[in-house]
Amino acid sequence: MANSQSLAVGIIANPAAGKDIRRLVAQGRFVTNQEKVNILRRVLAGIESVGVRRVVFMPDMSGLGHGSLDGSVKSLSVEFVDILVTNKEVDSTRAAEAMQDEGVGCLVTLGGDGTNRAVAKGAGDIPIVPISTGTNNVFPQMMEGTVAGIAAGVVASGGVDVDAVTRRSTVMEVSIDGTVRDIALVDVAVSTHQFIGARALWDIDTITELFLARTDADAIGLSAIGARLRPSDGSEHSAVHVTIGPGGETVNAPIAPGVVTTVPVSAWNPMAVGEAVDIGPQQCTIALDGERALSVGVEQSAQVTLRDSGPLVVDVEKAIREATRLGVFGGVQTS
């Protein structure tokens, strides 16, 4: 095992995750900042238990990182990356970039799809353990903080082979007029809304096209529409391009917590890695992982490409099972 005292686990917790306008139109879970602090305390306990001695936090205006330091973890050296805190998603990207320079061996994130999208843009090849605390939660997963911390710790310390316990995610790459403008981890939605406005996208009647990187059978959100057409268990690429409108089949899908609706699908096609698909010519806004982020003018052209260059994601169960097999937690090493 690598020297666990020289390696670090990074933590990026988004205080704004799970608090957007979609709470007004759906029955989404509301995760308070105090609960996020409680989760972080459990994450720290898990990290400490496997011998990692250094943790690097993203600073935030709500003080989640500082709030988690209640003195219960005695042996951890805790630092905060030096970034300008703006209370916007760019904070997560900048923090992830800084953590590469800090020698972080694994990242724990608290947030939804949007938070992890921001982290992915700066994390490079740092493996991520994504804990779900947001609105759209296809990329992150519900998991106990203690277990997440243990998994992150054994990955960061070299207790397990990173390649054996991680998988490379796909991403949707969005280009406007031939220039790559942004990415999405789960879904790209084309909306007839002319303005970005409150960002969060919740009205299915305004959506004309979907580009879905994932179609997990148990997904909620826009990707659930694709899951009704081409369901996946998450172990394989299952991207689809869906055109919303009359003239084809209809599917019932849970597009938000507590909201199951009938969606008309005029056409859909699988997407292969490297395949680029043009967005239909129109003035529109483009939502990335549930939030409107880009505007396209009537004279502009836009394109979406599926890439297999997304972030590395830790399979928590596999990481802990492998660490157990190797005797990281004590006991007898098994073959």
Residue 295: CB atoms within 10 Å: 15
pLDDT tens, residue by residue, 168-188 = 999 999 999 999 999 999 999
* CATH code linked to domain 171-307: 2.60.200
| Model pLDDT, residue 240 | 97
The mean pLDDT value for 45-74 works out to 94
Higher pLDDT, 294 or 25: 294
H runs (alpha helix) in 63-131:
64-67, 90-101, 113-123
Distance CA 151, CA 162 (A): 11
Tell me whether domains 8-168+311-325 and 171-307 share a fold: no
Lowest mean pLDDT among 12-21, 78-87, 150-159: 12-21
Topology given in CATH for the domain delimited by 8-168+311-325: Rossmann fold (3.40.50)
Tell me 195's DSSP state.
S
H runs (alpha helix) in the chain:
33-49, 64-67, 90-101, 113-123, 145-156, 162-165, 223-227, 316-325
Domain locations along the chain:
8-168+311-325, 171-307
pTM, whole model, 2 decimals? 0.92
Task: State the average pLDDT for the chain.
Answer: 91
